Chain A
């Protein structure tokens, strides 16, 4: 083979592993899950075509699906989106001249993000223990509680939200910090000359300038938040408890995993996966529309 020809072919060879692997382990199973969702397909035993029956059952008669989807959306707001109201101000503070030791603070806020979910949830389950947890001890000092965090349907959501906010706020803060550093300093200087105060400057310059970054960070939170599985699975003690008291910690992805790998109903689990996928697309469309509307008002 000539050198010229080798040079033309080389990049295709170099990138081919990704495409081969994605075809085999991505495209094929994703396509096949559409097929499986149309069958009554158990982990063992005969397979029967049922058309859209799995989808209809999940959406109409299934006792857990809507609870799980509702829990997921609740946790999306209380656990994954709420933290943007902390992450953005935190990034603004860290970006200001007032804060020292920025690298150290960034490291501390980011550490939870790189920690394994299992370890994090085990630690927080301990902190939220009903009888002797540190959280209830602190509440006791203030004359409150004790709260049966993990034995109560509201308590489970509160504990899960705490974990999610704690784990991911540093990630969002770093994204916002990078976005802030990209805003031209002249914009602020002009506003300072006009005599605008700090709050006014942030409302009229920072937020509009940062809107694309906010959209992107929120999109990532929506995609991630709708797939939450590990945190509730571990915190509520695995498949057996189905999300604990009142199924309060049962998320959609958790129910999908339960349906597939505990109940062994692979066809139904595939249908849940596609319904969940459509829900994520819909929420992202809402996010896009809301951002466009905010951007258009300027």
Chain B
């Protein structure tokens, strides 16, 4: 039984192995029979081709910068909102929270056309802003932090903080942020991965190749007529490396966090 499940796991992992293998074969030898299953010696050559064809370093830094800024903003705004929903009793709280959750079901394509016109009007095309600002207080992050803070932040501690003279915002900075770290770590990783992988918004709002992100740069490379498979495979493998490393290190927490919404309901 376990052997069958493990064989299936290998089948799932194989494409990852394969792309790293192909990244080390020269472009004109990638498609050969029998297919390569082990590493070749064309890695350096592929790197030179990759760097000559797309501004890969700039794209890598754009992806990294957008993901980091998105993550920091999401951590701040989602923890703040989660704190309010988890720890305050206020009029309309349950309805407002239900509304936040309901927005998760709105399809992303419904606003894209006018949203694009807005970004043009704002002068935000080819800037990080369309990818960073609209989602910085995202509903999923608020849900995750509300769940976390409900269970892990004792009310007595907040009352003690108030007696010590902390303002409400002071409570957030001095007590909530330090105590919410485990939850924020999960939200941070999930936000980072989501941003790192995002394609459609970068395709629409970052049309300039030097200003765009890794996935868009790879798709451009992929659809070029003079496509060099060696460069493409290396670029793809390198884009996967940080992601696979983070996932393997924190898979348990990431899976629990990502499926929290689906599993709770």
Residues of A with Cβ closer than 8 Å to B?
3, 6-8, 10-12, 14-15, 17-19, 21-22, 24-26, 28-30, 32-33, 36, 90, 93-94, 96, 98-101, 103-120, 122-127, 129, 131-134, 137, 140, 166, 170-171, 174-175, 178-179, 216-217, 220, 223, 226-227, 229-230, 233-234, 237-238, 240, 253, 256-257, 260-261, 266, 269-270, 273-274, 276-277, 280
Contacts and interface: CB of A to CB of B under 8 A. Distances in A.
B259 A22 contact: no
6 contacts: A12-B90, A111-B244, A123-B15, A127-B15, A140-B33, A257-B109
Interface string B87-124: 01010010010001001011111111111111000000
A238 B219 CA distance: 8
Contacts of B112: 29, 256-257, 260, 273
B106 A26 contact: yes
Given A29-B111, A133-B31, A6 B15 contact: no
Contact of A122 (B12, B35, B139, B232): B232
A36 B110 CA distance: 12
Contact of A260 (B88, B113, B239, B244): B113
Contact of B218 (A26, A98, A119, A273): A119
B128 interface: no
Q: Among B19, B216, B243, B263, which residue has the most Cβ atoms of chain A within 10 A? A: B263
Chief secondary structure at chain B's binding surface? helix
Interface in B169-213: 169, 172, 193, 196-197, 199-200, 204
A109 B12 contact: yes
A193 B22 CA distance: 55
Contact of B110 (A33, A229, A266): A33
B236 interface: yes
Contacts of B88: 7, 10-11, 14
A253 to B, nearest CB: 6
A8 B248 CA distance: 43
B215 A223 contact: no
Interface of B: 1-2, 5-6, 8-10, 12-13, 15-16, 18-19, 22, 30-35, 77, 80-81, 83-85, 88, 90, 93, 96, 100, 103, 105-118, 133-139, 142, 162, 167-169, 172, 193, 196-197, 199-200, 204, 214-216, 218-219, 222-223, 229, 232-233, 236, 239-240, 243-244, 247-248, 251-252, 254-255, 258-259, 262-263, 265
A108 B258 CA distance: 15
A280 B34 CA distance: 44
B254 A114 contact: yes
User: Which DSSP category, helix, strand, loop or mixed, fits chain A's interface?
Assistant: helix
A127 to B, nearest CB: 7
Contacts of B262: 175, 178, 216-217, 220
Given A10-B84, A132-B31, A132-B35, 19 more contacts: A6-B168, A11-B90, A18-B137, A21-B137, A28-B118, A104-B9, A107-B255, A109-B9, A111-B12, A111-B244, A116-B243, A117-B199, A118-B218, A127-B18, A137-B33, A140-B33, A178-B263, A261-B116, A276-B109
B95 to A, nearest CB: 12
A290 B197 CA distance: 35
A19 B172 CA distance: 19
Contacts of A238: 219, 223
Contacts of B244: 111, 115
A266 B247 contact: no
A108 B105 contact: no
A140 B247 CA distance: 35
B131 to A, nearest CB: 12
A234 B162 CA distance: 55
Nearest to A260: B113
A250 to B, nearest CB: 15
Contact of B5 (A99, A229, A234, A266): A99
Contacts of A18: 77, 81, 100, 137-139, 142
Given A8-B90, A18-B137, A25 B2 contact: no
A282 B22 CA distance: 44
Contacts of B193: 114
A93 B80 CA distance: 41
A273 B107 CA distance: 9
A266 B90 contact: no
Contacts of A10: 84, 88, 168-169
B194 to A, nearest CB: 9
Of all A-B residue pairs in the complex, the 4 with the closest CB atoms, nearest first, are A132-B31, A108-B9, A10-B168, A29-B114
B243 A114 contact: yes
Nearest to B254: A114
B199 A114 contact: no
A186 B122 CA distance: 60
Contacts of A137: 33-35
A94 B2 CA distance: 9
